[in-house]
């Protein structure tokens, strides 16, 4: 459901970029293509796709590819991410971020403010990070 947590024009742009990123997925094992578009605080959009591996566990989700691209290029503050996925490149339903990706979001984003846009075939759902990762672990717990 659209809750207007961020501007709908920006949401449309993120959704469009996530769909393009989805086409770049490297998925010879699962066949599930995933795309993510991450919005930095300063306005840049960084995309990612899932990248699988014959050894399976080195596989990296689209969301983390986007975060790692951004952080490794010097961007560490983020506003929102849009995510879509599906078998054979078809968005048949929501493809929400896995727990590992939510934990990476927790490292770099404000759980009270960071918006996760889960793309569905004809619509999308919006969540705050704190809703998808309640009582998340972060550096404030390391003392």
Residue ranges that bind ligand THU, judged by CB under 6 A: 27, 30, 32, 34, 50, 52, 59, 61-63, 97-98, 101
Closest listed residue to residue 40, CA positions, set 17, 24, 61, 59: 17
DSSP characters over 87-105: ETT---S--PPPHHHHHHH
CB of 64 to ligand THU, least distance (A): 8
Q: Which is nearer to ligand THU, 20 or 98 (CB)?
A: 98
Would you call 17 a catalytic residue per the annotation? no
CB of 68 to ligand THU, least distance (A): 13
Point out the catalytic residue in the list 17, 42, 52, 63: 63
Q: Token pair of 72, please?
A: 């490794």
CB of 90 to ligand THU, least distance (A): 14
Q: Which is nearer to ligand THU, 42 or 78 (CB)?
A: 78
Q: Residue 47 gets which letter from DSSP? A: E
Q: Token pair of 31, please?
A: 């066949």
Contact status, residue 32 vs residue 86, Cβ threshold 8 Å: yes
Q: Which residues are catalytic?
A: 63
């Amino acid at each position: 459901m659209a809750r207007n947590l961020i501007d709908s024009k920006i949401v449309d742009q993120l959704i469009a970029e996530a769909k393009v990123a989805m086409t770049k997925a490297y998925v010879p094992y699962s066949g599930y293509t995933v795309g993510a578009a991450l919005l930095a605080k300063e306005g840049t959009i960084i995309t990612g796709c899932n990248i699988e591996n014959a050894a399976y566990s080195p596989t990296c989700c689209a969301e983390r590819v986007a975060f790692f691209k951004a952080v490794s290029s010097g961007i560490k503050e983020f506003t929102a991410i849009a995510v879509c996925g599906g078998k054979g490149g078809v968005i048949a339903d929501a493809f929400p971020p896995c727990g590992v990706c939510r934990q990476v979001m927790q490292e770099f984003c404000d759980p009270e403010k960071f918006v996760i846009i889960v793309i569905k075939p004809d619509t999308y759902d919006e969540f705050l990070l704190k809703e998808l990762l309640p009582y998340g672990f972060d550096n404030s717990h390391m003392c």
